[in-house]
Amino acid sequence: MTALKLRLAVIDYDVCKPRKCSYECISVCPVNKSGRGVAIDADMAARGKPVIYEDACIGCALCVKACPFDAIYIVNLPQELEEEAVHRYGVNGFKLFRLPIPREGQVVGLLGRNGTGKTTAIRILSGEVKPNLGRVEGPEPGWDEIIRRFRGSELQTYFKQLSEGKLRTAHKIQYVELVPRRLKGRVRDLLARADEKGVYLDLASEIGLDKVLDRDVRHLSGGELQKMLIVATLSKDANVYIFDEPSSYLDIRERMRVSKIISRAARPGTYVVVVEHDLSVLDYLSDNIHLLYGEPGAYGIVSKPYSSREGINIFLEGYLPAENIRLRKEPIKFRKPAEVGLDAKPSGGPRRIVGWTSLKVELQGFTLEAEEGELSGGEIVGVAGPNGIGKTTFVKTLAGVLKPSEGAVYPYVEGLRVSYKPQYISPEALPDATVFEVLKAANPAAVVPGSWLYLELVKKLRLDRMMDRKARTLSGGELQRLAIAVSLSREADIYLLDEPSAYLDVEERVNVARIIRRVIETREAAALVVEHDLMILDYVSDRISLVSGEPGVYGRVNTPRPVKAGMNLLLQELGVTVRKDDQTGRPRINKEGSYLDRMQRARKLFYAA
Ligand code: ADP
Ligand code: ADP
Ligand code: SF4
Ligand code: SF4
């Protein structure tokens, strides 16, 4: 057995509030009480926040239990791991062990829960953070020591080149909405300035960014910002290309296009590293995958590299055999529609909410048509389609806010109410209020501890730890969870959630799918969930509705169909075929022109899952 001697004490200083507690953490510590040493102490230089000395601490975890705010995390790890510590943020900060290994000419993918160090790892690989090898006191390690640490692996050569300035890196950041704060001006000028290879116009036209080149960056949508950053990164004359979540805010077609241009960057002499939570995209894009595991916010360990198929399957299974590590109690399983009878009937309950005949809605410059349909309480209709295609317009028509010029809407519920979560949440547009205040304004019951809404939304979306923080200071993933809680806490008959999975990790996406289901079943409401992650679309939907046309000009909403039929039609429109993975049942995109691709195409079986 491995000796567990490496003590790790991490304090979340965002939630630690010495002014609101009585230093329970310090008063219960047996080491301090014994008088033989000090394991935990108030650090007066840091506004009285506590500091834990790992050498003196015996790991009893009494302080963890005593803290009223759950601010402390203590764990004992195998001693050998210490030699593989790569970076630590401060004395009781997050600690990263091991690193992913970039491979020349290949795309290396990173997959793991939010807060396990993916961004830290790529900031180290891109040279933005110099690794301190876990040493937070004393002199920082020099490059010689860092290079020696990685001897025998490809990282040795990599860091040698990086330290000698022989690697030029280009890094697409995760949160695209931060860009308009830092960059000003027209898209065309910004891209022209970033371009070192004379390729930006070609790339922009290949991923459909050419229409907005003359727009000011302040007026771009989330998806347009994402594409702009991807083009800017790829137009750098670099030999390391790093992409942190390139698919957020993009529709499925755009995700495929972006995957193609990113894969092309992996040539001899270049390294490509990608963090991505859309598993179909990650699978399609990467040659190798490293999983990151550990305790979010406390520590992260990078696994050995796996092939993309094996890595994703192990991740879903939740068990790493080589490391003998369990990632979570249960595997993540993907229902197969036929097995749960979804192809037979929609799972909606008896409460009918709204019906409509075929419709036409004419706005200035935009026309929407819809095939007839009906929504029932307790059902989730997955909506697939690009942005600006009329999904919001359609729901406004169902709610009676917009009037159709042809056809009619039949609400079965008086005063039909809609609650909407927009796709893109600009930090600038947020009120100057705390998470608590924002939730309370949406529904006072949501902030009453013990109420079903509090348990279902605040607890399960882990907002309880951030109630006092200003909404404006939240990260993209935290803001997404708040926006989901706000829209689901409102009383409504139809919930329209536009891309609730952006910035969430796979576990959170599955968790959100379950939360949506419980809320709409309790309220006998219906949900329309716009989802661009194929696997989550399949997972979340009882039925699927496609919206196609020309964004900003014309849109057509299809009647909601059973999942399998809806997926088949969607993939046919996209021109891709998808097979089922034998082991996990997850959908996998076939490589264009492969044997399975040709065979499925010939049989018009676009979705063989
Ligand atoms: P991921 O990309 O997997 O979500 P990150 O690498 O962004 O993970 O962060 C891992 C943890 O490291 C975070 O939960 C945070 O607590 C901590 N962290 C990240 N950046 C810093 C920093 N600059 N200073 C202190 N702690 C940080
Ligand atoms: P989605 O929800 O699919 O992103 P929307 O329904 O919000 O799309 O918008 C579809 C198109 O209709 C967009 O081009 C938008 O600019 C346009 N549009 C939305 N509301 C109006 C309106 N009141 N008048 C004119 N055009 C509108
Ligand atoms: Fe108080 Fe907990 Fe912070 Fe200790 S860790 S000072 S008990 S909030
Ligand atoms: Fe003290 Fe135990 Fe907390 Fe360590 S884990 S600081 S020994 S109370």
492 residue type, one letter: A
Q: Is the CB of 53 under 6 A from ligand 3?
A: no
Q: Is the CB of 294 under 6 A from ligand 1?
A: no
Selection from 332, 327, 370, 378 nearest residue 351 by Cα: 378
Strand intervals (E) in 364-443: 366-370, 373-376, 380-384, 409-411, 418-421
Question: Whose CA is closest to atom 2 on ligand 3?
Answer: 67
Determine how β-strand 299-302 pairs with β-strand 288-295. Answer: antiparallel
Distance CA(522)–CA(553), nearest Å, equals 38
CATH among 3.40.630.10, 3.30.70.20, 3.40.50.300, 3.60.15.10 for 5-79? 3.30.70.20
Rg for the chain (alpha carbons), in Å? 25
Q: How far is the CA of 364 from the centre of ligand 2 (A)?
A: 9
Q: For a pocket test of ligand 3, which of 21, 49, 57 has the largest count of ligand atoms closer than 8 A to its C-beta? A: 21
pLDDT less than 50: residues of the chain: 1, 336-346
Q: Is the CB of 72 under 6 A from ligand 3?
A: yes
Domain ranges of the chain: 5-79, 95-321, 349-561
- Quote the pLDDT of residue 338: 45
In which region does residue 245 sit, left (phi positive, over 0), alpha (psi from -120 to 50) or beta (all else)? left
Collapse the DSSP code of 420 into the 3-class scheme (helix H, G, I; strand E, B; otherwise coil) and give the result.
strand
| Ligand 1 atom closest to Cα of residue 292 | 3
CATH among 3.50.50.60, 3.20.20.70, 3.40.630.30, 3.40.50.300 for 95-321? 3.40.50.300
Distance CA(605)–CA(571), nearest Å, equals 9
Give the contacts of 415 (CB within 8 A, at least 6 positions apart): none
389 residue type, one letter: I
Q: For a pocket test of ligand 2, which of 360, 363, 405 has the largest count of ligand atoms closer than 8 A to its C-beta? A: 363
Question: Whose CA is closest to atom 8 on ligand 4?
Answer: 29
Within 278-317, residue ranges assigned H as helices are 279-285, 308-317
Question: Whose CA is closest to atom 2 on ligand 4?
Answer: 60
Q: For a pocket test of ligand 1, which of 92, 110, 119 has the largest count of ligand atoms closer than 8 A to its C-beta? A: 119
Q: For a pocket test of ligand 3, which of 28, 43, 72, 92 has the largest count of ligand atoms closer than 8 A to its C-beta? A: 72
Q: What is the pTM of this model?
A: 0.93
Question: pLDDT tens for residues 274-311?
Answer: 999 999 999 999 999 999 999 999 999 999 999 999 99
- State the Cα angle at 116 between 113 and 118, rounded to 5°: 90
- Quote the pLDDT of residue 341: 43
- Quote the pLDDT of residue 340: 45
Q: Is the CB of 15 under 6 A from ligand 3?
A: no
**Contact between 48 and 111 (Cβ < 8 Å):** no
- Quote the pLDDT of residue 245: 96
- State the Cα angle at 483 between 479 and 486, rounded to 5°: 135
357 residue type, one letter: T
Q: Is the CB of 52 under 6 A from ligand 4?
A: yes
Q: Which two tokens stand for residue 37?
A: 């040493």
Q: How far is the CA of 95 from the centre of ligand 1 (A)?
A: 9
Q: Does domain 349-561 have CATH number 2.60.120.1270?
A: no
Distance CA(392)–CA(375), nearest Å, equals 16
Q: Is the CB of 361 under 6 A from ligand 2?
A: no
Question: pLDDT tens for residues 176-213?
Answer: 988 888 899 999 999 999 999 999 999 999 999 998 99
The reply to whether domains 95-321 and 349-561 share a CATH topology is: yes
Q: How far is the CA of 488 from the centre of ligand 2 (A)?
A: 23
Q: Is the CB of 391 under 6 A from ligand 2?
A: yes
Q: How far is the CA of 65 from the centre of ligand 3 (A)?
A: 11
Closest ligand to Cα 11: 3
In which region does residue 296 sit, left (phi positive, over 0), alpha (psi from -120 to 50) or beta (all else)? beta
Strand intervals (E) in 357-493: 359-363, 366-370, 373-376, 380-384, 409-411, 418-421
